[in-house]
Amino acid sequence: MSGDSPYEYVIVGGGIHGTCLANHLITEGEYTRDEIRILDPREELLASFAKKANQCGMETLRSTFVHHIDTESFSLESFAEGHHRANELVSTKNYPDRPTLGLFLDHARDVIERRDLSDCHHRSKVTDVTQSAGTETYLVETDAGAIEAHRVVLAVGLGATPTLPEWTASLPDDAPLEHVWDEAFDPATPGPFEGQTFVVGGGITAGHLACRLAEWTAVTLLSRHELEIELTEADPYWINWRHIGKEIHTLPPGSEARLDRIRAVRNDATIPPYVERRLAEARDGGALEHRQGEITSANATDEGLSLRFDDGTRATAARVVLATGLEPVPEQPLVGRLSESLSLARGAEGFPVLSDRTLAWRHTDGADSEVYVSGALAEPSVGPFARNIVGASRAAERILDPPDQARTDPLPMSSRGGS
């Protein structure tokens, strides 16, 4: 895999963020498809997003109809109306309409087809990025060879490794224990297990999953706390750059204070009212139960798992499906390799230290690199919606058309949280 001249942009990741950025570069930045390369090992762009959405049983998006991968706000609405699918824009109390998963994906695929974004996609897994002494280009190393680029964008998603509770460590591989993000997990394909099913988790993924599994088996949703109901991941004013600048960019880059501020306003581990209603309907129908507590130990038996809970009670002949999230995104090996190879600064909890103006990853000496970041890795600069669909659009705006330098003079990097 090689080219005659370096690509203008190599984007690592073909999910929502990578695809959205490529579309912005072509339609707003007037780059050609030959100047952009999206590197992702999956067969199609957005394949990982579509798979995860189906794995957890998502029916509608939490985001509104104006949040999508295209550059024009009402593109998805126009697509729905033009294809006689306006009924798939779901009415939501005190909130704009939200698209069904099918409508969102079909619109995204239409954008990919109309803009020929698949021409930019090359199936490969990035292993490292280096820079030869005396050059201004990057060498992007993959399992299919290496290519050169003037700029590299990390759009790598939330992580690849599911987080597992401690009590799972001693269970054999063939135990009836799965994680919603396991590669082979499919909620639409019931396995031969006939015992009771526990879904462990208290956020929107667990809620979607419990509703989906309850369509064909009895389910207990087990959460550590009472279910917390929030319509959105954060208040919508956190989409606005002016608000982000005032509340986050005034804090030192790389500081724990930024992460604390973002986590204080982000509604993690919550479910929206419409998922709560789905849970209530399943509960009223006798297919679902909600239980508050934790599993403290588990043993495998011929009939299934024998579980012990924190209140001392037990359950036998059980199957468990975990909805307990993924590894922290800064812990992805590629992030560490790039930081070491290119002397890039990392702040609190290993997050990249970015330029708030351009989302460029800063070197340890404070100078900006030509490595940019979108998605959850950019949260300390983009704010609580960084990982969301609207965060992809906001990151693309900054990377493609940053604001004037005079309005965003950087603060000194924090000495807290790493280098």
Domains annotated for the chain, with CATH where assigned, are: 7-160+328-407 (3.50.50.60), 166-231+268-322 (3.50.50.60)
Which tokens sit at 51?
């798979």
3-class secondary structure, 357: coil
Which tokens sit at 239?
């989409």
pTM for this entry = 0.94
Q: Tell me if 26 sits within 8 A of 36, measured CB to CB.
A: yes
The pLDDT assigned to 190 comes to: 65
State the Cα–Cα distance between residues 70 and 389, nearest whole angstrom.
Answer: 11
Pairing verdict, β 145-154 and 304-309? unpaired
DSSP code, position 160 = S
What number of other Cβ atoms are within 10 A of residue 263's Cβ?
Answer: 11
Q: How far is CA 278 from the centre of its chain?
A: 24
Name which of 19, 68, 70 is nearest 42 in CA terms: 19
| Burial category of 7 from C-beta neighbours within 10 Å (exposed 0-12, middle 13-18, buried 19 and up) | buried
Name which of 141, 131, 148 is nearest 35 in CA terms: 148
State the Cα–Cα distance between residues 216 and 212, nearest whole angstrom.
Answer: 8
Q: Tell me if 315 sits within 8 A of 293, measured CB to CB.
A: no
Q: Give the percent of the chain with pLDDT over 90.
A: 90
The pLDDT assigned to 288 comes to: 97
**pLDDT < 70 stretches in the chain:** 1-3, 190-192, 405-419
Residues constituting the chain: 419
The pLDDT assigned to 416 comes to: 33
Count of alpha carbons within 13 Å of 160, Cβ hemisphere only?
9
Phi first, then psi: give them for residue 41, nearest 5 degrees: -75, -10
